[in-house]
Amino acid sequence: MSTLHRRPRRIVVAGGGVAGLILATRLGRTLGATGRAEITLVDRSPTHIWKPMLHTIAAGTWNIHQQQVQYLTHARAHDFSYVPGELDGIDRAARRIHLAPVRLEGETVAGARELSYDALVLALGSSANDFGTPGVDEHCHRIDSQGQADAFNSRLRAHVARSFVNGNSIDVAIVGGGATGVELATEMSRMVELAGGYGTQTGIRQRLRLTLLEGAPRILNAFPEAVSTSAAAQLRALGIDVRTGVRVVAADPEGFVLDGGERIEAALKVWAAGIRAASGIADCGLGLNPLGQVIATPSLLASGEDCIFAIGDCASLLPPGAPRPLPSTAQVANQQALHLARHLPAWLSGEPLPPFNFRDLGSLVSLSDYNAFGTLGRFGFFPDGFVKGRFAQWSHALLYRSHQLSLHGPGRTALLWLAEWLNGLVNPKIRIS
């Protein structure tokens, strides 16, 4: 076994999403605190937001400043280092990563740099895939990062304000009937409904014209059909126009063009369809699938590599005997991060990594305060059973609470919950400025 496997000292985690931050936090507590390894987390953003809740930031129904985690202060509290930067390449022979310059509000705050590693964990996440559709980059919003969600919310609030003043409609179209598109649609419905309570025009909710476009025969195609059917019925009850089996061929300033020439008019357009691995690894010599994801082995090592791991949405792992790779979900990313956090310390001492075994705990989709649907999986309660209503909403909320607990521990998490409850008593339920 190589010297690298006996004594790696520098572990670099590229990407501070669900998987990356949990892994850096756990390794910091075990290896960083004892001096057995130097743990470094690299991310272009200074803050972390739980990605499954980005749609609430986009709609303005979640307190962005209260929920975000500052990488710098979190790293100090958990014995790892944070380096601002974006992966721009990997020198696998020299075991170095290249970081692109960091710009903040038009100013360069850090130039191009390099970091050496003994073990590299790629946890870069993913973004929506426009499949080369003309006009998407120029005219559509994406909800893949905190900055993108915040930018969309600014435009949404401007449209709501104009509707208050002029009485005009709020035309929104979302491409992609997966969890992000469906949850964003219902969260916007709730936001506009609550906004009507702050003014004299209580009928503003009726001026929201929202269209959800999905190419598959049903929305939430990755979910069981019972979840899909129930969610579609709820959306239509809210007045949302759900269009399935349609293909968007172009976007322009006024809306979307469908295959066959039909137009969907919308001043606000969101692209939430498909998935593609984040940039930075395309030309690194790693084995990639057609979506740009790193092909991973059951031990979570990148295929053909002995010190580069890939986890979360940027990785593609086909379990032995499975018909398809694991889905790109927060549940998979979380379990992979915990698996590496548990076994990397022994790997540093030369022991082999056991294969990752995914435990399907089910899937849930939350339709704001209106409803929630899902299944809790064969390893959870009610095996393979369909859940809905308050129980499903509480179960969905528990996913985020579990994420907080994993990052902060019970004491700080309890204080965060208390602060959130107190702020909810005195602050508006939506972002209005």
- Residue 357 falls within a domain, yes or no? no
- Residue 288 falls within a domain, yes or no? yes
- Residue 432 falls within a domain, yes or no? no
19 and 122 housed in the same domain: yes
263 and 313 housed in the same domain: no
Residues in Cβ contact with 73 at an 8 Å cutoff, skipping those fewer than 6 apart: none
Q: Partners of 10 in the beta sheet?
A: 38
- CB of 336 closer than 8 Å to CB of 312: yes
Is 335 a residue whose pLDDT tops 50? yes
Arithmetic mean of pLDDT, 96-105: 87
- pLDDT tens figures, 146-160: 889 999 999 999 998
- For residue 166, the model assigns a pLDDT of 84
Handedness of CA 429, 331, 398, 366 (dihedral sign): positive
Q: Which of 51-55, 103-107, 171-175, 307-311 has the lowest mean pLDDT?
A: 103-107
Task: Write the CATH number for 403.
Answer: 3.50.50.60
- Residue 359 falls within a domain, yes or no? no
- For residue 4, the model assigns a pLDDT of 46
**pLDDT top residue among 106 and 177:** 177
Is 167 a residue whose pLDDT tops 50? yes
Arithmetic mean of pLDDT, 205-213: 91
Q: Which of 287-291, 367-371, 397-401 has the lowest mean pLDDT?
A: 397-401
Arithmetic mean of pLDDT, 213-227: 93
- Could you tell me the end-to-end alpha-carbon distance of the chain, in angstroms, rounded to an integer? 59
% pLDDT > 70, the chain? 93
- For residue 8, the model assigns a pLDDT of 46
144 and 227 housed in the same domain: yes
pLDDT band at 199 (very low <50, low <70, confident <90, very high): low
230 and 295 housed in the same domain: no
Q: Which of 38-47, 162-171, 210-219 has the lowest mean pLDDT?
A: 162-171
Residues in Cβ contact with 65 at an 8 Å cutoff, skipping those fewer than 6 apart: none
Is 249 a residue whose pLDDT tops 90? yes
Averaged confidence pLDDT in the chain: 89
- For residue 402, the model assigns a pLDDT of 87
Arithmetic mean of pLDDT, 177-194: 93
* Dist. CA 169–CA 279, nearest whole Å: 37
245 and 164 housed in the same domain: yes
Arithmetic mean of pLDDT, 346-353: 91
Q: Which of 220-229, 410-419, 420-429 has the lowest mean pLDDT?
A: 420-429
Arithmetic mean of pLDDT, 41-58: 91
Cα–Cα separations (whole angstroms), residue 270 to 91, 99, 136, 137, 177: 36, 29, 9, 10, 11
- Residue 421 falls within a domain, yes or no? yes
187 and 232 housed in the same domain: yes
Arithmetic mean of pLDDT, 7-34: 91
Tally of CB atoms within 10 A around 163: 20
% pLDDT > 90, the chain? 61
206 and 318 housed in the same domain: no
- Residue 354 falls within a domain, yes or no? no
- For residue 379, the model assigns a pLDDT of 47
- For residue 381, the model assigns a pLDDT of 52
Cα–Cα separations (whole angstroms), residue 279 to 125, 275, 341, 417: 9, 12, 25, 35
166 and 263 housed in the same domain: yes
341 and 253 housed in the same domain: no
309 and 246 housed in the same domain: no
Query: What's the pTM?
Result: 0.89
372 and 237 housed in the same domain: yes
Structure tokens given for 122: 């790629």
Is 68 a residue whose pLDDT tops 90? no
Is 420 a residue whose pLDDT tops 80? no
- Residue 356 falls within a domain, yes or no? no
209 and 88 housed in the same domain: no
* Percent helix / strand / coil, the chain, rounded to 5: 35, 25, 40
- For residue 396, the model assigns a pLDDT of 84
Cα–Cα separations (whole angstroms), residue 431 to 53, 56, 65, 208, 268: 15, 10, 11, 17, 18
- pLDDT tens figures, 262-308: 999 999 999 999 889 877 788 888 999 999 999 999 999 999 999 99
pLDDT band at 238 (very low <50, low <70, confident <90, very high): very high
What is the residue range of 181's domain? Answer: 136-274+366-376+379-426
Residues in Cβ contact with 128 at an 8 Å cutoff, skipping those fewer than 6 apart: 142, 143, 144, 176, 180, 271, 272, 273, 274, 275, 276
- Residue 358 falls within a domain, yes or no? no
* Domains contained in the chain, number: 2
